[in-house]
Chain A
Amino acid sequence: MAAKKKIGPLDIYALLPKTNCGKCEPGVCMAFAARLAERTISLEECPPLWEKGQEANLKKLQEMLKPPVKEVKIGDIKVGGQLVVRRHEYRYFNPVPLALTLEDTLSEVDLLKRIKKVEEYGYSYIGKTLRLDMLAPRYVSGDPSKFEATVRKASLTKFPLVLWCTDPGVMEKAVSLVKDRRPLLYAATKENWKEMGELALKYQCPLALYSPFDLKTLKSMAKTMMNWGLQDLLLDPGAGFGEMLKETVNCFTVLRNTAIRGEDPEVGFPLIASVARVWEDGGRKPEELAWEETALATILMVRYADLIILKSEEIWTWLPLIILRENIYTDPRKPVSVEPGMRAIGEVNENSPVMVTSNFALTYFTVASDIENSKVPSYLIVVDTGGLSVESSIAGRKMTAQTIADAIKASNVKEKVKHRKVILPGMAARYKGELEELLGFEWEVMIGPRDSSGIPKFLAEHWK
């Protein structure tokens, strides 16, 4: 089987009204087609396409643009919708949501503490606040009233809900409490699929299918549920560390490749990595299990998981995951670098410090934000390092005494400041002597901190 041909703007244009009516944001049909091809606009934004007479074209377009991994909404969060197996082939969509379990055995105080922790958690990273995304009340107590109470508490938040319960009777009570929230029913199994399928039909909720390490049964369940008219499905092929790791990786790999490159619609659904299951291996220390859970989540985050369910509430386990997600789900086509040259950060004057950094976008934004935190307006000379970080560009000889000297000269900073001091990144310390020589001993080269988080302290101590 061949890999699915990528849809080009011309294939799309042929089916558009071609009137250039100006009712969409790009204004003309060809530009609209290009935006559709790169998935940055949706068919809904072309009103004429929804008028009478366009039904056949609309249907063809919908079919053409349908991602091989279906996009499913849980609450108001979209999951899945993947077009490619590997991010460099195009890009990944819908950054994998992280859901935190709420065991119904938690005391009310602990439950509220756990919910509060998720609600308040946020990490600032290049101008964004990264967070956890969903709550997953979990039925483990054997007491339906406890599960119900947990679901009620979770429903007081704005988070989309994953209802983790395999008892259809208990599930029905829970889902009836939050039916307007479009919770994920987690999960239908080989044993309960009929009842769970009925609930998904009745309450119009997405349904997860769980068949650990048995893809034939998983696909049979998907086929049956599709036959019932259920479209919003997710697949959980099982997740295990230790001796189950190989089979876990195999299942995720095979499912995603078969859905996209094998064009098998019966497995073309978002994948759930329920890494919280590693905690079922009882009798071990919590920090060991948290460690395992995070390691497994890392592996499956880059191996096609579209929804991850976590149990650890340690923020040291959350941080690598939310940052890895942010990194992997960026558009690989976006530029790596910022324009080289000199920037003024804050209200600079003739006494402002002069600093040097690389033109790797992340380095630049990090350094600029650390300078802002220092409350000392500064000039920042951005050396053209080919979009590499300071450390890599020194190793790769993109940042050398010569390239720094050239950047300083080109910046005309001499005209801007009275002093003659320039601060190098700590990692570039070795260039001090050579750089002073290249600048004709007119400038004193100071060595700044190795990490820009040290800039506020450095300026407080050395810039008076």
Chain B
Amino acid sequence: MTAATTEVRAGRSRKARTSGVSRHAYPLWFYLPAAVLFLVFFAIPTFASFYFSLTRWTLFDQEFIGFENYVQFFREPQLYQGFINTLIYGFLTSGLKVVIGLALAVLLTSALVGRHFLRSVIFFPVLVSTIGVGIMFKALLDPFDGMVNGALETLGITGPGWLTDPDLALYSIIGIDVWKGLGIACLIYIAGLVAIPTEYYEAARVDGASKWAAFKSITLPLVKPATGTVIILSLIGGLRSFDLIWATTGGGPGFSSDVIGSVIYKQYQAGFYGLSTAGNVVLFVVVTVIMVPISLMLNKREVEQ
């Protein structure tokens, strides 16, 4: 009891001392510019979106219609498909970036010949704009003249219409997305791998552990923070994706590769601002419901370590 009170007192006096210094040295108005921008261009639009999604809205005029936009969003097959595609897109790109990114990072931190060259090469697509990448792959994946199908043809395989086949288009874009974003995932993993002390691996080798066993019980658990970062970054990016899809297929053929991001833009373009904003709220809910538990879970693990 007495020990506890002295501790509290000590804590209090320490706190008093630092805040005495900080009041002079660390002015709270440093928050002000960021706070104003954030409030005006992020918080207000976000809150307003909940209201506007319940209206028939033309920017000048709005009429409250309740949940009609949402009903329409989930009842019309082409809008609903965008919702499903968003989930496929987000989880598949994220999963592939984790698996391939880790595998490549392991390869590139080993004593591989030419690893510095490989690191720069893999990072290169990150620098090209998504629109540029989209146009490039439209040419490469062209079903008749494209290089990819040309190469397949020399092997005696008739290549599919990567971006023109409704069953395939979404997955082709997922492939392009992974190609473009792999560099960042790999970079984060390399940083995580380099931080693991080499003694661990030496000890494992002395104990006669196989390479796979060392990977499973040393590497995997110790790169968890990096995995968390990769998952969070690629899921957020994947669920919000818009520009790559817009540059390659525009959501087509039909609505087969539409995601919520492209549905929002199409409705906006057509002047259905209320419906477009409802799409935004759906995206908001999807991202929040998926991201908040995942980031909480990943943070907890990091603390336990």
A binds B: no
Which residues in B have some Cβ–Cβ distance to A below 8 Å? Answer: none
